[in-house]
Amino acid sequence: MKKVYLVGYMGCGKSAIGKRLSFVTKMPYYDMDKEIVKKMGMPIPKIFEKYGELRFREMETEFLRSFRDESCIIATGGGVPMRRENREIMRKTGLVFFLNAPFRDIWRRISTDKNRPIVQRSTRAELEFLFNERKPHYLKTAHFKVETEFRSLRDITDYIAFQIGRLKGEK
Ligand SMILES: Nc1ncnc2c1ncn2[C@@H]1O[C@H](COP(=O)(O)OP(=O)(O)OP(=O)(O)O)[C@@H](O)[C@H]1O
Ligand SMILES: O=C(O)C1=C[C@@H](O)[C@@H](O)[C@H](O)C1
Ligand SMILES: [Mg+2]
């Protein structure tokens, strides 16, 4: 069985939905950011500080190239679909869902977060610019665009679980 990848901007709900989806589908769940943190033994802001963003981006690609061959749910980092190789690996090895949220909602969720180095170093306008720059890449990576505005985590999770089940021929 294929992997299920959740892609989208910081704060769109990849981790929150990934965990719930794992519960509903009984597929194991992995958070790419957490896997990299575990491997490196330091938090993401520290990885950026010590090795630089480019090396972090290499680590993301390395994760996609080598992560275990099992059916699972993966919440990806917000910058992952920006690289062509990453997009190709995800589309080839799984089903990709883009969680689309308006920037307004995103900003409300991420503006006070200390664990996202890109948020730490950017203004609101810069983050909105990056959001608009990334959106086409999320769209071209994804097999499904999932609208999240005004929808509960449960509702979004059930929709994705339904699509996974449908494609597995269960429903
Ligand atoms: N549709 C939603 N309804 C209510 N709360 C939401 C929704 N989507 C996300 N949230 C909340 O917003 C916060 C940020 O979500 P989450 O951490 O899952 O984002 P993320 O996409 O994993 O971000 P990152 O790329 O930085 O890891 C969480 O507290 C989550 O519960
Ligand atoms: O959007 C991004 O570039 C990032 C999002 C997070 O998931 C982390 O991968 C890291 O903070 C970078
Ligand atoms: Mg996350």
Going from the N-terminus, what domains does the chain have, and what CATH number goes with each? 3-167 (3.40.50.300)
Backbone angles phi, psi at 94, to 5 degrees: -170, -170
Residue 1's pLDDT is 53
Q: Distance (Å, rounded) from C-alpha 119 to C-alpha 79?
A: 13
Mean pLDDT, the chain, whole residue set: 95
- Residue whose CA is closest, atom 7 of ligand 2? 77
Amino acid 114: pLDDT: 82
Q: What's the whole-model pTM score?
A: 0.96
Question: What's the pLDDT band for 66 if we cut at 50, 70, 90?
Answer: very high
Out of 7, 9, 10, mutate this one to test ligand 1's pocket (max ligand atoms within 8 Å of CB): namely 10
Indicate the DSSP class of residue 26.
-
Distances (CA, A) of 119 to 49, 57, 113: 14, 16, 7
What is the spatial distance between Cα 72 and Cα 18, in angstroms, rounded to a whole number? 10
What's residue 16's pLDDT?
96
Query: What's the mean pLDDT in 10-38?
Result: 97
> Which amino acid belongs to residue 86?
N
Q: What is the mean pLDDT of residues 106-125?
A: 92
- Which numbered atom of ligand 1 lies nearest the CA of 99? 21
- pLDDT value of position 170: 56
> What spacing in Å lies between the alpha carbon of 159 and ligand 2's midpoint?
25
| Mean pLDDT confidence for 136-158 | 98
CB distance 44 to ligand 2 below 6 Å: yes
Whether the CB of 146 sits within 6 Å of ligand 1: no
Mean pLDDT within 57-74: 96
Residue 152 CB partners (closer than 8 Å, separation 6+): none
For range 50-79, the mean pLDDT: 96
ipTM value greater than 0.90: yes
